[in-house]
Chains A and B, each alone.
Chain A
Amino acid sequence: QQKVQQSPESLTVSEGAMASLNCTFSDGTSNNFRWYRQHSAKGLEVLVSIFSDGEKEEGRFTAHLNRANLHVSLHIREPQPSDSAVYLCAVSASNTNKVVFGTGTRLQVLP
Chain B
Amino acid sequence: GPKVLQIPSHQIIDMGQMVTLNCDPVSNHLYFYWYKQILGQQMEFLVNFYNGKVMEKSKLFKDQFSVERPDGSYFTLKIQPTALEDSAVYFCASSFLGKDTQYFGPGTRLLVL
Contacts and interface: CB of A to CB of B under 8 A. Distances in A.
Interface of A: 32, 34, 36, 41-46, 49, 88, 90, 92, 96-104
Interface string B30-62: 010101000000111100100000011010000
A97 B43 contact: no
A46 B93 CA distance: 12
A43 B43 CA distance: 12
Nearest to A32: B99
B107 interface: yes
B42 A102 contact: yes
Contacts of A46: 1, 101-103
The B contact surface, by secondary structure, is strand
A100 B35 CA distance: 10
A98 B45 contact: yes
Given A32-B99, A43-B107, A97-B31, A103 B56 contact: no
A96 B56 contact: yes
Contact of B48 (A42, A90, A97, A101): A97
Contacts of B31: 97
Nearest to B6: A43
Contact of A99 (B1, B45, B55, B106): B45
Given A34-B101, A43-B105, A49-B101, A98 B58 contact: yes
Given A42-B106, A44-B91, A98-B48, A92 B99 contact: yes
Given A44-B91, A45-B1, A98-B58, A103 B101 contact: no
Contacts of B43: 88, 101
Nearest to B98: A97
B104 interface: yes
